[in-house]
Amino acid sequence: MFLVLFVTLVLAAALQPLPSMMALDVHLLRQLAAKHNVTTIVVFGDSSVDPGNNNYLKTDMKGNFPPYGDNFINHRPTGRLCDGLLAPDYIAEAIGHPPIPAFLDPTLTQTELSYGASFASAGSGYDDLTANISNVWSFTTQAKYFLHYKIHLNKLVGPLESSKMINKAIFLMSMGTNDFLQNYLIDFTRQKQFTVEQYIDFLSSRMLYDAKMLHKLGAKRLVVVGVPPMGCMPLIKYLRGQKTCIDQLNHIAFSFNSKIIKNLELLQSEIGLKTIYVDAYSTIQEAIKNPKKFGFEEVSKGCCGTGLYEYGETCKDMEVCKDPTKYIFWDSVHPTQRMYQIIVRKAIASINEDFLV
Residue 268 identity (one-letter amino acid): Q
End-to-end Cα separation, the chain, in angstroms: 52
The residue among 275, 296, 277 whose CA lies nearest residue 285 is: 296
User: What would you report as the CA-atom Rg of the chain, rounded to the nearest whole angstrom?
Assistant: 19
Q: Is 16 left (phi over 0), alpha (psi -120 to 50) or beta?
A: beta
Question: What residues are annotated to the active site?
Answer: 47, 331, 334
Q: What is the dihedral of CA 10, 12, 18, 20, to 10 degrees?
A: -100
The residue among 63, 46, 215 whose CA lies nearest residue 139 is: 46
Q: What would the DSSP string read from start to end of 269-298?
A: HHH--EEEEE-HHHHHHHHHHSHHHHT--E
